[in-house]
Amino acid sequence: MMREKGMLRGLAALGLSLGAATVFAGEVNVQVLSAVVKDQRLAGATVIVQKNGARSVTATTDTQGTAALGTEFADHDDSLIIIKKPGYSNLVAKCPCAGMTYALSPVMTSLDGLRIVLNWGAQPADLDSHIAFPGNHVYWEKKLGTEGNLDVDDVNGFGPETITINKKHAGESYVYAVHDFSNMHSPAADALARSQAKVLVYIGQSLVRSYYVPQQPGNLWTVFRITADGEFQDINTMRGTSVSAAAVLGSVDNYLKASTEVAAVQVSAANADNARALNKAGEAAYHAGDLVQAIDLYRQAIDIDPNFGQAYGNLGLAHGKAGHTAEAIWANRKAIALASGPTAATVRAGAYYNIARLYEAAGQYADALQQYQAARREKANPVYDKAIERVGRLAK
């Protein structure tokens, strides 16, 4: 059937390094679009490229959404691009950046919503976003799902391809994947690996997870899963298939089963040490009242070590204090999943309680009641009992 379709600042402060850099000389021009409105160019966005140990370069997008950063700055693969515009979540991504298109996500208000934005280079022309959850497979041929939709589809390179979940349903699992439609019948193709594809996940007003395409052949990149308990799990694997777009569901829906395990990301001892140092620096910033810096450092720690439960717990506290409710809920859910050792039940109970309080403050009493009850199952506490009684009346 023919298709029819229309972290470096914290590392430098700690004396840490990302390793040797490849240098890409030449002018660094990037275009900034809306992630949710097809081909809408965003003027007035601030674009910053910064390299560890070097000065940053800043430009503002013109009426065509283009920022010219000049020829005096080399485009390194150990540089970061940061894009900011009022009303949109800040975007942070790894370079090389020259000639790329980036899409900004408008701030979301739902406590249980998320937005997934896929960008890539000029080739292959057609990469597709797919998200599967019970009774739903959202992609270019089925743009609407239950509380979710494909906002923007692209068939001419660069992207974005954007999927928004307005409300993630408790008790349901979700899996997200990228399919190389241009090479759908070539399982050994390496075009996807060479595409510079990146997947950015937004919750509330924040970028919470970033994924970069694995450097290995294949035409189906399975990126992440959200469990029935709301935990993000990194999959980040590439494989080759010969299936149609509609049949991608059958290639990834095993991840909707609780019995399908996702192996924890292996982290080297050096990276674990770096993550602990960043977390410690984040705690110092938090106690000094610098929530922006604390959140940035905690997120860098998590990027290096996705299994670092303490950093997630700290991130949840910082987001909560900053008034980032949706982000605090997301971070606390991951802290629950990673809790271990003799204090695990206490950690989980406290995180459930924190989530419940956020739901209660937002007037989502049924959701709050579930979380208070979960806290009570982990550990007896009269505070939890009183909360269950109070919210139970309101949830009726």
> In the structure, what pLDDT confidence band is assigned to residue 73 with cuts at 50, 70 and 90?
low
In this predicted structure, the answer to whether residue 156 has a pLDDT above a threshold of 90 is yes
For tokens 């390793």, the residue is 19
Sorting pLDDT into bands at 50, 70 and 90, what band is 285?
very high
Q: Has residue 74 got a pLDDT over 80? A: no
Q: How far apart are CA 15 and CA 38, in angstroms?
A: 42
pLDDT in tens, 305-333: 999 999 999 999 999 999 999 999 999 99
Mean pLDDT of 243-272: 94
- Cβ–Cβ contacts within 10 Å for residue 59, how many? 19
pLDDT of residue 69: 83
Q: Report which secondary-structure segment, H or E, holds 131.
A: strand 127-133
Residue 143 tokens read as 């743009």
Burial class of residue 358 (count of CB atoms within 10 Å of its CB; 0-12, 13-18, 19+): buried
Given a cut of 50, is residue 15 above it in pLDDT?
no
The CA radius of gyration of the chain, in Å to the nearest whole number, is 21
Tell me the per-residue pLDDT of 100-138, one tens digit each, with 9 for 90 and over.
899 999 999 999 999 999 999 999 999 999 999 999 999
In the chain, count of helices (H) and strands (E)? 9, 20
Kindly report which listed range (4-8, 280-284, 374-378) carries the lowest average pLDDT score.
Answer: 4-8
Mean pLDDT score across all residues of the chain: 90
The dihedral built from the CA positions of residue 103, 104, 106 and 111, taken in this order, carries a sign that is positive
From residue 145, alpha-carbon distances to 136, 138, 148, 151 in Å are: 6, 6, 5, 11
Cα–Cα distances in angstroms (integers) from residue 41 to residues 33, 117, 206, in the given order: 4, 16, 21
pTM above 0.85, yes or no: yes
CA–CA separation, 116 and 111 (whole Å): 15
CB 145 within 8 Å of CB 137: yes
SS3 9: helix
Helix, coil or strand: residue 338: helix
Is 80 exceeded by the pLDDT of residue 351?
A: yes
